Amino acid sequence: MTKLKVGILYGGRSVEHGVSINSARNIESYIDKHLYETLCIGISTKGVWYLTPSVSKEIEKGSKLKLHLDAENPRFEDEKGNLFSLDVAFPVLHGTDGEDGSIQGLLKAMSIPMVGTGVLGSSVSM
């Protein structure tokens, strides 16, 4: 059986950066690794995206990512040139740029399904 690739997005530029890391750690610990492959994507306080081996406060020690914004074939590329895609994104970002519809809009533009509220619901509830 092929495992679904779940991207846990955490960190971010918000003042709630640390809260996001704690939340993402909890989520990562409860995801069934027999069913899902987790890819931890940390966003630094400067807004730079990194692939990290697990959820960590040391986001910038991960591999810096480039986003390929292609709705037909959305992908991420690490510093070594490895490309990967996600089956679903699990945004665990708090505050501005995390739960205000911004990240949800980006994921929607990339045609990446996500867990949680969509663009409108997120922006209205913020």
* Structure confidence by residue, pLDDT tens digits, 26-44: 999 999 999 999 999 999 9
Asked whether the CA dihedral 15, 20, 23, 25 is positive or negative, the reply is negative
pLDDT in tens, 61-82: 999 999 998 878 999 999 999 9
Measured CA to CA in angstroms, residue 104 lies from 4, 115, 119 at distances of 20, 10, 5
b/e for 2-32, b at 16 or more Cβ within 10 A? eeeebbbbbbbbbebbebbbebbbebbeeee
Number of domains in the chain: 1
Range from 22-26, 94-98, 112-116 carrying the lowest mean pLDDT: 94-98
CA angle 46, 71, 14 (to 5 degrees): 20
- pTM for this entry: 0.93
CATH number of the domain where residue 92 is located: 3.40.50.20
Residue 37, domain extent: 4-125
